[in-house]
Structure 1
Amino acid sequence: MEHIELTLLGLLLAVVGLTALARLWNVPYPILLVIGGSLLGFVPGLPSVELDPDLVLLVFLPPLLFNAAYFASPRDMKLLWRPITLNAIGLVLLTACAVAWVAHTLVDDLSWAAAFTLGAICAPTDPLAATAIARRLGVPARLVSVIEGESLVNDGSALVIYRVAVAAAVGGSFDLLDAGWEFVANVAGGIAIGALVGFALLPLFRRALADPLISVTLSLAAGYLGYIPAEELGVSGVLGAVTVGLVLCWHAPTITDPLSRLTGYAFWDVLVFLLNALLFVLVGFQLHEVVTHQERSLALLLGLGAAVSAAVIATRLLWGNTTPYIIRALDRRPKQRLLRVGWRERMVIGWSGMRGAVSLAAALALPLDFPERDLLLFLTLTVIFATLVVQGLTLPWLIRTLGIEDDGSPAREELHARRAATEAAISRLEELREEEWTRDSTVRLMRKNYDVRQRRLAQVAGERSFEQDGEDLGEHTDARARLTKELIDAERAIVVALRNEGTISDEVMHRLERELDLQELGIAAYRREPSVAPDGAA
C-alpha cells in the first residue's frame, strides 16, 4: 500500500469528523459512518486499499463478538429464548434463501452457491444503531433484549451458512444433506469449544485480579482463544468467541476487581468503536474500485441493490408478522401468553433489523478470486445503507407513531437493587459498630449518609412524601454532589498549579488526578438514580 502514513491519518480523521457530526445531529454514529465511508472512495487522489481476505474475519470478528457477548444478559436470553432462537436461526435461513433467490434470478450466471453466500452475508443483524435509538426513545427493555440477543446468536448461524456457501462456490459442489449436518456440527462444536475455553480462563482471570493491565489484555485474547481453535477444528469460531464471552460475562463479578472493570470498560468502548468505524471507512476506500471494475451500469447496480435490500427488509417484516401466530396456535400455555407482544412491538423489532460490521467483514473476507466478488461487496454495502440509513433514520418516527413507550421495568429493577444494596450496607454497618477498629464518629457519619439515601429511594418509590422528610431529598443529593464537585475542581486546580510551578512532578500530579477523577465518577454514578412513579411507571 502506497503512502500508508497518509492513509492511516486519513482514516482516523474521517472517523473523528463523521463521529463528531453524528454527535452534533444526535444520530447513532454507524449511520454517518456508512454514508461518509461510501462517499470517501470517490474522493479524487485517495490511494487504493487492498485488504487480505484471510485476515479480515480474524482481526475484526473475535473482539466484536466477544464484546457483544460479554455485555449481553444471559438472564434475558434465557427468558426470551424462543423469539431469539426463531429469529437467529429460522429468520436467518429464510433471509439467506430469499436473498439467494432474488440474486440468482436477477444476476446472469450467478451460481446458487455465490447467491447463498450473499444471502448469508446479508442475514446477520447489527444492534448498535437500533438499540441506541430504542433506549433513547424509551422502548421497553424486553424488545431491546430481543434485538440484542438475536444479533448475538444470528452472527454464528449466518456465518456457518457463509462458510458452507463459500466452500461450495469455490469447490463447485453442494449437497443439502451434507450442508445440514455440517451446520449442526459447526454450531455444536463452536459452542462446546467456547465453553471449554471460557471455563479454562476463569482461574487465569482470578490470578490476574490485582493487575488491570493483565486482566484487560487477557479479555482481548479471550475472543481469539475461542475463535481460533474452533476455526482450526473446522467448527464455528464465531460461536466459540460468543460462548467464551457469555461464560466470562456470568462470572465477571467474581473474577475482576473495580479497577480492572473501569479500565476494561474504557478499553472496550474505544476498541469496538474503532473496529466498527474502520470497517465502514475501509469499505468506502474500496467502493470506487468496486464500481469501476463492474461492467454493469450504475443504474443496473443500484436496481440490483434495491431488489436485494427489499428482499432483506420484506422477509423480516413478513416473518415477524406470521411466525408468532403459528407459535400461538401451537402453544397456548398461560405462561407463554404473558410473553406475547402486539403487532406494534413486532413492527419495531422488524424495522430494527439493521446490518453492519459483521456483514461488512464477511463480504471483505471473500477470496479475491470469488465469483462476482465486487458485485457481492457492492450489494452488501447497498443492503447496509438501506437498512442502517433508511431504517435507522425512520425508526424514531415509527416508534413515536406506534406509541411504543417504556414499561418502566429497568427503572424498577434498578430501584429495587439500590434499595437492597442500601439495606445490606446499613445492616453490615450495625454489625461492625461493636468492632474494636471502628470509630463511633465514623459509624454515625456513614449511618447518616445511608439513612439519607434510604429515605431518598423511598421518595422515588412513592413510599415517602417530601412533607415527611421536610425536603426533596433528590435536590439534597444534587446539591451535595454539586458541592463535592466544586471541591474536587478546587483540589485539581491547585495540584495542576503545583505541577506547573515545578513544586511536584508530573507523576505525582497524575496519581492525585486519577484519585480525583475516580471520586468525580463516583459522584456522577450516585446522582443517576431511577425516576419511578408510585404506580411503577417511569
Structure 2
Amino acid sequence: MHNTLPFLLAMVAAVVLLEMWATKLKIAYPILLVVAGLLVSFIPGLPVVKINPDLIFFIFLPPLLFDAAWDISFKEMKKWWRIIGSFAFLVVFFTAFSVALIANHYFAGFTLALGFLLGGIVSPPDAVSTGAITKFVKISRATSTILEGESLLNDASSLIIFRFAMIAVGTGHFVWHEAAMSFVWMVIGGAGIGLILGWLFVQLHKFLPTDASSDVALTLIEPYFMYWIAEQFHASGVLAVVAGGLYMSAKRLVFLNSTSRIQGFSVWESFIFILNGLVFLIIGLELPEIVAGLRSEGTPLGTAITYSLLITVTLIVARMISSYAAMVATILFRRSIASQVFRGRTSLLTPLLLGWTGMRGVVSLAAALAIPVTLENGLAFPHRNLILFITFVVILLTLVIQGLTLPYFIKRMSSFNTVFTVESDEETKREMKRGLKAHVYQFLKDKYDNELNGHVGMEKFLKHWEERTKATDDSWMNEKTKVIFLEVLESQRQYLTELNKDSKIDEELIRQQLYQLDLEEERLRII
C-alpha cells in the first residue's frame, strides 16, 4: 500500500500535467495519456497496476455514464433520435457481427462466441475521446448531440452483446429465444429501474434537510446505487444509470438549489476528469502485462498485431458502411430531415466524416479487463490476453490515427453542410436577453407597481438589476429588495424553462443563462 499510493498520486499528477500539455499542443488529452502510459510502463521497478475484473465496471462506468446523461440535452436527443438510435443500436450490432465473422474466419481457434465477445468490446465509440478532440474545432450542436447521444446509448447495446457472448463462451451454447427475452428485460427493466430510482432520489433531495455539500455527496453515490440495484435484478445497469441520469438532469431546478448546482458542477467536472485520465493511463500501463500473457499462451506478437490491424480496419469500414446506409435510409424515409442534414454537392462526404468519429476508449478497456481469468469450471478463459491485446491496439490506433486527423477533416468540411456547420448563437442570445428584460420589467410592474413609484431604492433596483457585479455600491440592497431580487431570479428561471420548450432554441444556451442566474443568486446571498 505504501508503495502503491504514491504511484497512484503520481498518476493523478501526470494526468493533470499531460492534459495541460495536450491543451497547449491542441490535441486531445486521451492520446497523450495513452502514449504516456505506454512509455511509463517500460520503466523498471514501478508497481504493476491491477484492477479486479469484477469491479472494473462498477468503479468507472456509473459516474462516467451519469455525468454524460446529466450534460446532454434530452430535447436535442429527441430531435435527432432516429440517427442516434440507429448508430447506438443498429450500427453497434452490425459492427459486432462484422467483427465476429472476421475473427471466427481468420483467427486460429476463435469461435463465433469469442468473436461476438470481441465485437461487443470494441464496437462502441468513446464519448470522452470524441469530446476531447472536438474541443479544438467548432461543430454544430446537432453534430455534438448525435455523437454524445450515440456514445451514451451504445455503451448499453455493446455491453448487452458482451454479456450474452460471455454466457455463450462459458456454457458452450446459446438459446436465441431465451436471449431475446433476456434482452427485452435488460432494456425495459434497466430503464424502468433507473427512472424509479431517479424519482426516489429527487424526492430524497427535496424532503431531506440537505445542504450543498450533502447534495453533491449524494449525487456522487446515486449512480452507483442505480447500477448496482439494476444488476441485482439482472437488468442493464448501464441503461439504469442513463435513464436515471436523464430524469434527474431534467429535474435539477426542482431538487437542487443554486449553491448545490454550482458546487456540483465543479466537483463533478474534476471527478470525471480524474477518472477518465486514470483510465487512459491504465490503458497504456496494461500493455507489457498483456504482451507477457500473449507469450505465455504461445501467440506470436506479430500475429497478434496482424489480428489487431484487421479488426481496426473492420471497425472503420463497418462504421463507414453504416453511415452511408443511414444516409440512404434518411433520404428515402425522412426527406424533411435529409434536407437539413444531407444537402449540397459534398453531402456524400458527411457519412464519411461521421464514420471517422469512431475512437474507442474507456468502455472498451473496462469491458476487456472485466473478462474473468478463468471460466466457472476452473479452466483458463480462452484467448483472454489476445482479446486484451487487440482491444488495446484498437484503442491506440483509433485514438492516434483518427483522433489526430479528425480536427483537420472537420475544418475542411465545416462549410459543406449544416451538420458540420456551426450556427451563430449570437442572435439567439440577444433575443433571449431581450425577452428576459421585458419579462422582468413586466413582472416587477405587475407585482410591485405601487412600491416602485417614488421609492428610490426600488427604482434603482429596477434600473440596475441586469448590471450584476458592475455595481460597486450595494447599500441599496436591503432585505426587502433582496427578497424581490430572488423572486425576479426565480421568475427568470420559469421564463427560461418555458422558452426551452421551443424546439428551435438550443438548450445549451438556456443552461448557460440558468448557470448565470445561479451565480447571481450566490453573489446576492453574500451581500
Q: TM-score range by the shorter chain?
A: 0.7 to 0.9
- Whether contact under 8 Å (1:432, 1:438) holds in the other structure is no
Relative to the length of structure 1, the TM-score reads 0.80
Moved more, 431-440 or 191-200: 431-440
Distance 1:412 1:162 in 2: 46
2:309 equivalent in structure 1: 306
- Does 1:103 find its partner at 2:108? no
Distance 1:237 1:439, change over 3 A: farther
Percent identical:
33
Matched residues, number: 463
Distance 1:302 1:412 in 2: 52
1:317 to 320, 339, 345: 320
1:380 to 391, 396, 404: 391
2:456 equivalent in structure 1: 441
Q: Secondary structure at the match of 1:94?
A: helix
Question: How does 1:232-247 map onto structure 2 within 5 Å?
Answer: 232-247=232-247
- Does 1:348 find its partner at 2:353? yes
Cα deviation, residue 208, structure 1:
4.8
Q: Secondary structure at the match of 1:321?
A: helix
2:45 equivalent in structure 1: 45
Moved more, 51-60 or 219-228: 219-228
Q: Secondary structure at the match of 1:322?
A: helix
- Whether contact under 8 Å (2:262, 2:519) holds in the other structure is no
Cα deviation, residue 410, structure 1:
4.3
Q: Secondary structure at the match of 1:293?
A: helix
Relative to the length of structure 2, the TM-score reads 0.81
Distance 1:207 1:345, change over 3 A: farther
1:427 equivalent in structure 2: 442
Cα deviation, residue 523, structure 1:
11
Q: Secondary structure at the match of 1:86?
A: helix
Cα deviation, residue 409, structure 1:
5.4
Distance 1:411 1:362, change over 3 A: farther
Tell me the alpha carbon deviations over residues 199-256 of structure 1, each in whole angstroms, 9 at most, x when there is no partner. 1222112235751112112212221222111101111110001100011011111211
Cα deviation, residue 340, structure 1:
4.7
Distance 2:437 2:45 in 1: 61
2:138 equivalent in structure 1: 138
- Whether contact under 8 Å (1:117, 1:165) holds in the other structure is yes
- Whether contact under 8 Å (2:121, 2:391) holds in the other structure is yes
2:365 equivalent in structure 1: 360
Cα deviation, residue 326, structure 1:
3.1
Distance 1:336 1:348, change over 3 A: closer
Distance 1:384 1:227 in 2: 25
Distance 1:33 1:119 in 2: 25
Distance 1:376 1:439 in 2: 78
Question: How does 1:460-499 map onto structure 2 within 5 Å?
Answer: none
Tell me the alpha carbon deviations over residues 428-463 of structure 1, each in whole angstroms, 9 at most, x when there is no partner. 233354455998333333433368x7xxxxxxxxxx
Distance 2:385 2:426 in 1: 48
Distance 1:205 1:243 in 2: 18
Q: Counterpart of 1:118 in structure 2: which amino acid? A: L
Q: Counterpart of 1:398 in structure 2: which amino acid? A: F
Distance 1:290 1:398 in 2: 34
Distance 1:435 1:226 in 2: 51
Distance 2:516 2:324 in 1: 45
- Whether contact under 8 Å (2:258, 2:519) holds in the other structure is no
2:491 equivalent in structure 1: none
Distance 1:430 1:277 in 2: 52
2:406 equivalent in structure 1: 395
Distance 1:383 1:265, change over 3 A: same
Q: Counterpart of 2:389 in structure 1: which amino acid? A: F
1:297 to 289, 300, 324: 300
- Whether contact under 8 Å (2:121, 2:162) holds in the other structure is yes
1:90 equivalent in structure 2: 90
Question: How does 1:46-445 map onto structure 2 within 5 Å?
Answer: 46-134=46-134, 136-208=136-208, 211-295=211-295, 296-329=299-332, 331=333, 334=336, 337-338=339-340, 340=342, 342-369=347-374, 370-404=381-415, 406-408=421-423, 410-434=425-449, 436=451, 440-445=455-460
Distance 1:136 1:414 in 2: 23
Q: Secondary structure at the match of 1:138?
A: coil
- Whether contact under 8 Å (1:99, 1:312) holds in the other structure is yes
Distance 1:255 1:412, change over 3 A: farther
Q: Counterpart of 2:207 in structure 1: which amino acid? A: R
Distance 1:48 1:280, change over 3 A: same
Distance 2:337 2:104 in 1: 43
Distance 2:168 2:436 in 1: 56
Cα deviation, residue 149, structure 1:
0.6
Tell me the alpha carbon deviations over residues 366-393 of structure 1, each in whole angstroms, 9 at most, x when there is no partner. 1122322211111111111122221111
Distance 1:105 1:416, change over 3 A: farther
- Whether contact under 8 Å (1:209, 1:256) holds in the other structure is no
Tell me the alpha carbon deviations over residues 97-123 of structure 1, each in whole angstroms, 9 at most, x when there is no partner. 111222222321122222211100111
Cα deviation, residue 162, structure 1:
0.7
Q: Counterpart of 1:354 in structure 2: which amino acid? A: M
Distance 1:50 1:128, change over 3 A: closer
- Whether contact under 8 Å (1:363, 1:377) holds in the other structure is yes
- Whether contact under 8 Å (1:121, 1:380) holds in the other structure is yes
Moved more, 433-442 or 20-29: 433-442
Distance 2:41 2:450 in 1: 69
Distance 1:210 1:437 in 2: 36
Gaps of at least 5 residues in structure 2 are 375-380, 475-514, 521-527
Distance 2:209 2:32 in 1: 39
Cα deviation, residue 302, structure 1:
2.0
- Whether contact under 8 Å (2:129, 2:360) holds in the other structure is no
2:487 equivalent in structure 1: none
- Whether contact under 8 Å (1:160, 1:183) holds in the other structure is yes
Cα deviation, residue 2, structure 1:
7.7
Distance 1:83 1:162, change over 3 A: same
Q: Counterpart of 2:436 in structure 1: which amino acid? A: A
